[in-house]
Structure 1
Amino acid sequence: MSEVHDWDDEDDGEWVPVVDTAPSPPRTRPSPPPIGFRCDRCSTVVPTGMAECPRCLSPVGPPRRGAGRPGGVLRLVFRGGGRHLDVPRGSEIRLGRDDGWAPEASEFLADEDTVSGRHATVLHTSDGAAWLTEVPQGATNGTRVNDRVLAPGSRVRLSNGDRVELGPEVDFEVRGIGEEPEEAAP
């Protein structure tokens, strides 16, 4: 309760205290600081301060112009389980179930029946470009980039955020390609 003064005309014309009986508004607790937010890709709670989702490894926060992975590493983030493959600049990685032909990828593609033993390659050039090529003999269930079907032996340049499908059940997202420099005006 608070005290207010009012003019008293009946007595001797002086200010007298008047008690305010209106209830004061309830005090609200300040909201606790946020502990994180939901990943746009997989809805996992990402703790505040993290740069990528702990589940799907997607970058979080506002996109940064020219942002690439430290050291120029290209990352292929597979759907579900946080599996990924890193491709350093100037190297190539093979994608498939054959552990002799694709040793890195076969570790987690070995049980994927819709992926061919020798499916495709990803080349990350020294200048930062990335290229996907389906094997020349073709992959049994095909390869798609953003729903575009690749022909056997053909290659396509990858961009940050592209979705690549190795058959109908396995896909990954391309991360870490910096934006290409703008071409000079003629």
Structure 2
Amino acid sequence: MTVPGHGGDDDAGGPEDDGLDLVPLSGVRPLGRGATSPVAPPAATPRLVTCPHCGARLPAGTASCPACLSPLRSGPAPAGTARGPSRTAALRLVFRGAGSHLEVPPGGELRLGRDPAWAPEAAGLLAEEPTVSDRHAGITHGEDGTVSLTEVPQGATNGVRVNDRVLAPGRTERLADGDRVWLGPVVSFTVRIPGQPSC
């Protein structure tokens, strides 16, 4: 069947004359018969996450926060948030006295001090403890169950002890289940690491 205005089925010849004047668009390349125009994928926008220490927005996967210089793992996540499934249960820090405790999930970090902006999880518990510095120390709980303690690099006013060992500022100390950690001369907690035998 021949459609009016069309020259029929002329597959071997050149362009068909349909009586229309086609004006090429600037920057558009004509496509051959049966071809489809490739669609460019949308530009990927980088995924932003929030630094758990200062709240700054930064690209996912950043090694350390440029705003507060805090080290980050495979992407910032608030302390107290587990990073996916893990075989290890949460680390527990049991404070002497009223039985208060703090927990750190596998892959998490907990800062110990009285400054609520720097140590939001611990500041409420330590707010009335004048022998504890605003920024005293940090605890990390590895995905593999390892636990480490580090006194702040500038040093806490009253120092940190693990059992009878005095920590050097900025130096990381590996902890075992049952270790007693002292933040200054008064405040202490016992480390309870799931799956490890007590010392």
Shorter-chain-normalised TM-score: which range?
Answer: 0.5 to 0.7
Deviation at 1:110, TM superposition (A): 0.7
**Deviations 1:59-100 (Å, cap 9, x if unpaired)?**
xxxxxxxxxxx9511000000111100000000000000000
State yes or no: 1:149 paired with 2:166. Answer: yes
- Which of the numbers 56, 72, 83 marks the counterpart of 2:100? 83
Higher relative contact order (CA 8 A, sep 6+): 1
Paired residue for 2:155?
138
User: What residue number does 1:108 align with?
Assistant: 125
Alignment-derived partner of residue 142 in structure 2: 125
Partner of 1:168: 185
Gapped regions of structure 1 (runs ≥ 5):
1-69, 181-186
Higher-Rg structure is 2
**RMSD between superposed Cα atoms in Å:** 1.4
| Count, aligned residues | 111
> Contact 2:136–2:152 (CA<8 Å) still a contact in 1?
yes
In structure 2, distance between residues paired with 1:131 and 1:123: 5
Deviations 1:91-122 (A, max 9, x none): 00000000000011001101100000000000
TM-score where L is the length of structure 1: 0.58
Q: Give the % identical residues.
A: 64
Aligned equivalent of 1:158: 175
Structure 1 outlier segments of 4+, above 3 Å: none
User: Residues of 1 paired with 2:135 and 2:190: CA distance?
Assistant: 20
Whole-angstrom distance in 2 between the partners of 1:177 and 1:136: 28
SS of alignment partner, residue 138 of structure 1: coil
1:154 CA displacement: 0.5
Q: In the alignment, is the contact (CA less than 8 A) between 2:163 and 2:180 conserved in 1? A: yes
SS at match of 2:121: helix
| Structure 2 segments unaligned to the other structure (5+ residues) | 1-86
Counterpart-to-counterpart distance in 1, 2:90 and 2:184: 25
Richer in strand (by share) = 1
Matches within 5 A, 1:45-56: none
